[in-house]
Amino acid sequence: GAGVSQSPSNKVTEKGKDVELRCDPISGHTALYWYRQSLGQGLEFLIYFQGNSAPDKSGLPSDRFSAERTGGSVSTLTIQRTQQEDSAVYLCASSKQGGNTEAFFGQGTRLTVV
């Protein structure tokens, strides 16, 4: 597949557990974004990776959230000690260079914390 791939597509977890969400960007794309979309809400920026630059973490809502991008490719978003308010769809996108280049989104991971 040539698109952005996210896994799992759905995740149900118990409150207090840690979860890891994975994003495989389009090959060759140097920019990678994570967004959160709550039911009926907009796209909340979480974190932005661009090449070898330090990631822009300004959107992470708390220190329970972290993300890494290994080898400039695959990214993992980790949520520790999940809370019910973390329930949302987590969307990953990648683009050739960030900025004014088209961002391609994955299908998202729907996280439900029970």
Interacting residues toward other proteins by CB under 8 A: 4, 31, 33, 35, 40-43, 45, 48, 50, 53, 56, 91, 93, 97-108
Q: Which is nearer to other proteins, 34 or 113 (CB)?
A: 34
Q: Which of 5, 1, 11 is nearest to 78 (CA)?
A: 11
Rg (CA), the chain: 13
| Element housing 68 (H / E) | strand 65-69
Which residue type occupies 75?
S
When the beta carbons of 63 and 102 are compared against other proteins, the nearer one is 102
* Minimum distance of other proteins from residue 99's CB (angstroms): 4
